[in-house]
Chains A and B, each alone.
Chain A
Amino acid sequence: MDLVALLAIQVLYAIASLALISVGLAIIFGMMKVINLAHGEFLMLGGYAAIEANRYGINIWIAMLVVAPLVVGAIGAIVERTIIRWLYGRMIDTMLATWGLSLFLVGLTTAVFGNTTVGLSAPLGSFEIGSYRVSAYTLFVIAVAFVTLGGVLAMLRFTRLGLVARGAMQNANMAAALGVNPNRVYSVTFAAGAALTGLAGGVLAPVSGVFPTIGVAYVAKSFITVIGGGAAIVTGTATASALFGAVNQLATYATTPVFGEVALLAAAIVLIRLLPQGITGRFFRRSL
């Protein structure tokens, strides 16, 4: 029974971490159709922002939950204004530009922070389930993922900003004819996606540590989750994370972490083969 509870927590954690690292990309890709190959580096920057802020004496919770998203959101706004805005509708050009940005950010952080892993101590202790010890921070990450997805859903469904964003993303020209400034919507959306990515980087920094090339570990899983989820940003991210996170963790438990990763990739291939439009292309089609 204890083992089942432990395994359930680990599966939930795998789902939550996938959802966290993917939701920002889902917003940027799902709403703007921009393939941001620097997504992994935005995560990395969120981690560094949290670690550096904490090093300069800022409370660790504020560093992770406030500073990291603010810093990466601001970087996202600058990137949108200086690079992405000129490339809307040019998918290949956007990919090349964000790939270049990714290389630049890796080089810049290596020059500034060095090619070593830095980390934060998890700010919560552990608790026992029978004879097993579980980090309480695991539960915190799960909670952050739920709150983040719920917050994005609420913002899209219940706020004027969410309505305008959904309208502009469906038909930017028509939204403009109704008085919406599309450039402002794009800018806010990109910055919001980047901020959520920064939040994920900050929250996961105590778990994984941070180093300049850590984005590579994140970016493939994020894209797989977003593509597997389909067009609905929140429901797609949640369902794909649930599927891939569960497959990954259960396979890891049954075999090894390496086979867990292989199982995740195999599940993604099967899913895309069966559901080319992703989960929400077939199910929950009216969801957000």
Chain B
Amino acid sequence: MILEVSQLAAGYGRIPILSGVTFEVAEGEFVGVLGHNGMGKTTLMRALMGYLPATAGRVAFAGADMTRAEPYLRARAGMGYVPQGREIFPGLSVLDNLRMGAVARSAPEGPAIEAALAEFPRLKRLMGRPGGALSGGEQQLLALARCLVGRPKLILLDEPTEGIQPSIIDEMVETLLRLRERGGLTMILVEQNLEFIAALSQRVLIIQKGAIVRTARPDELHDHGLIHEFIGVDD
């Protein structure tokens, strides 16, 4: 298992959000996380990346205990994070955003950037533009490409389709499927877009009130009853 999460609890200040979260992710697996708004999906991602301290439990990545590790140490160990809202560097050019993905880890810069651009060719014509001047969809592609430049073993991808035009969502699905089939990359994907999560995930964790309450197969996401009960939207 590349990621082992055991009885993880975390929250904001004294407000507990996650409690007793336990799951494992195998190397090369794409796992979705679904749940109502406010059930702790983004909190889970932030806790896995180390932005929120674990108040209980354990997080192990690639065999190493990461429970108390700072975010930058998790990143250096091979965890990549594409947060909700993208958080590209608005004042840096597209090229410099991509370079940030490489320089922080002392990875070879040129080949890693070229490889990421090969996955997202739309970015090639935007290299000199400031990140803040891109559309939301372009920023999302940039955030994904920047993450890939760091050659992560695991990507935590939080709500990538939020506010993004359908053509770019299709482009993301194609690229992520290609990466999944190529192997060597593991992903945890938080989404509300059922089609997107069903297309990419091999297993879906359903989160309710800060705990994983069920594991579903992607084809089960067409079950209206299950969707209504655990996610609160119709597909």
Partner-B contacts on A (CB < 8 A): 160, 163-164, 166-167, 170-171, 173-182, 286
Contacts and interface: CB of A to CB of B under 8 A. Distances in A.
A286 B51 CA distance: 31
A167 B150 contact: no
A167 B102 CA distance: 12
A166 B49 contact: no
A160 B106 CA distance: 10
A166 B91 CA distance: 9
A143 B147 CA distance: 42
A163 B109 CA distance: 13
Nearest to B71: A176
Given A167-B100, A173-B51, A174-B83, A180 B72 contact: yes
B76 A179 contact: yes
Contact of B81 (A163, A177, A180, A286): A177
The size class of the interface chain B forms with chain A is 20 to 34
Contacts of B150: 178-179
A69 to B, nearest CB: 25
B104 A170 contact: no
Interface in B46-99: 49, 51, 70-72, 75-76, 80-81, 83, 87-92, 96, 99
A176 B70 contact: yes
Given A164-B100, A164-B104, A174-B89, 15 more contacts: A160-B103, A166-B89, A166-B92, A170-B90, A170-B91, A173-B87, A174-B87, A175-B100, A175-B104, A177-B80, A177-B81, A178-B147, A179-B105, A180-B100, A286-B130
A164 B75 CA distance: 15
A177 B100 contact: no
A195 B89 CA distance: 27
The 10 lowest CB-CB distance pairs between A and B, nearest first, are A179-B104, A179-B75, A177-B81, A176-B71, A179-B105, A178-B104, A180-B104, A174-B87, A176-B72, A167-B100
Nearest to A170: B89
A174 B150 CA distance: 13
B41 interface: no
A180 B72 CA distance: 6
A168 B135 CA distance: 22
Interface in B117-155: 130, 146-147, 150
Nearest to B130: A286
